[in-house]
Amino acid sequence: KDRGVNQITQYGTRNLKYPNAQQMSQLTILTHVWAYGDQYYKLAHDSYGDPSKWWVIAFFNQKPTESDLRFGTVVYIPHPIERVLSFYGV
């Protein structure tokens, strides 16, 4: 019951918008064929050097979890990460 916590901060879900056509033209899109052992965080580490950016790949592909992908699915990885994040307002 009492854990010495005086307050809890709850964060809302960010409202992200998919890049429009003009923004897409400013990106380089790499492809990856989903294979056994793949995880979003591994792709983010390999592509961006930061596994915590896994959600960028998931959102960009409109596949929120790895279970939404099948082996052989082409996954799109947008670059540069800084520009993608600016489009998402992050």
Q: Please give the model's pTM, rounded to 2 decimal places.
A: 0.83
- Is pLDDT larger for residue 80 or for residue 6? 80
Is 41 a residue whose pLDDT tops 70?
yes
Average pLDDT estimate for 29-57: 97
55 burial via Cβ count (<10 Å: 0-12, 13-18, 19+) = middle
- The region that residue 38 occupies, defined by phi over 0 for left and psi between -120 and 50 for alpha, beta otherwise, is beta
Q: What percent of the chain has pLDDT over 70?
A: 98
| pLDDT of 1 | 59
